[in-house]
Amino acid sequence: MAPVRYVVYGAGAVGGVIGAHLHLVGLPTTLVARGAHLDRVRADGLVLDTDDGRRAVAVPAAAGAADVAWTDDTVVLLTVKSHQTDAALDDLVAHAPPGAVVVVAQNGVANEAAVLRRFARTYAVCVMLPALHLEPGVVVQKCWPTPGILDVGRFPSGSDDVADRVAADLRTAGFESVARPDIMAWKHRKLLVNAVGDVSTLLPTGPEADQLAAAVLAEGEAALAAAGIPVVTAEQDDVRRGDVLRPRVDIADFRGNSLAQSITRGLPTEIDYRVGEIVLLGRLHGVATPASERVLRELK
């Protein structure tokens, strides 16, 4: 069986780490990047910073879908920020095969439906992959030796041979990955994890931050329940994570989450698709979300 060809659309922290590892195990991979980051990757390779040191990975890179050599067995891993999804989809619709598989490896829970409007073969990944991208040409893998957990399933539900194949390739590349028919229940738990984590971007560690985080979590749980949306328990999430994500101790310069990275780089953020999703669900289903609204308002 011929190997799947991967197009990682968005070569930032998450996409860069995934794409580098796929390429390193010999799976045909092309990164889609832009600007100075693309220039550096094309000139010198993508620098992958791990606990084992830095190495330049000579993975092919493209400026957009028009520069990709598409085949019928190409799988797109969509890894741009959520607010960049529409532009990425416009590009993919213009140049990718209509029957392309698009696997959503993004934060939030709104991207999958947007992709499904454009591509019938839509899949979702619950991304647990701490990484950094603060300088052009470099991505930092924050966990070692396993880079992350990337479970996958079909959207809106179910599993099939494609999900199994993608999960197997991700395992080959060093990630923890299984195919899950209820992948969106896992992504909704990850949504709550992200929303709570965003409090740390707003407030320093302390009692006020703890109280606000607890309130955001309670609001998120209530909004999901009111909407009738299945979500795995925190205990199930803890078991899945286990001790897989072992943080490096040598990264002292920056410990913020992906939202904090965007703010640090002066870029637009995807806050509307993180804690903002809780605010939206609350408004749709009559659940008050004052704590979540505060985080959204002060981090916009």
- Whether this model's pTM surpasses 0.85: yes
Give the position of tokens 């709550």: 192
Residues in the chain: 300
Q: Choose among 55, 50, 22, 57: nearest CA to 172.
A: 22
State the pLDDT at residue 2: 72
CB 226 within 8 A of CB 285: yes
State the pLDDT at residue 300: 84
**Domain spanning 184-232+254-299, CATH class:** mainly alpha
State the pLDDT at residue 259: 81
- Residues spanned by CATH 1.10.1040.10 within the chain? 184-232+254-299
**pLDDT tens string 87-115:** 999 999 999 999 999 999 999 999 999 99
Mean pLDDT of successive 10-residue stretches along the chain, which has 300 residues: 90 97 98 98 97 96 97 96 97 96 97 98 97 95 96 97 98 98 98 94 92 98 98 98 92 69 82 96 98 94
Query: CA quadruple 68, 20, 261, 224: dihedral positive or negative?
Result: positive
Q: If one looks up domain 5-183 in CATH, what number appears? A: 3.40.50.720
- Residues spanned by CATH 3.40.50.720 within the chain? 5-183
**pLDDT tens string 250-267:** 875 556 688 878 887 887
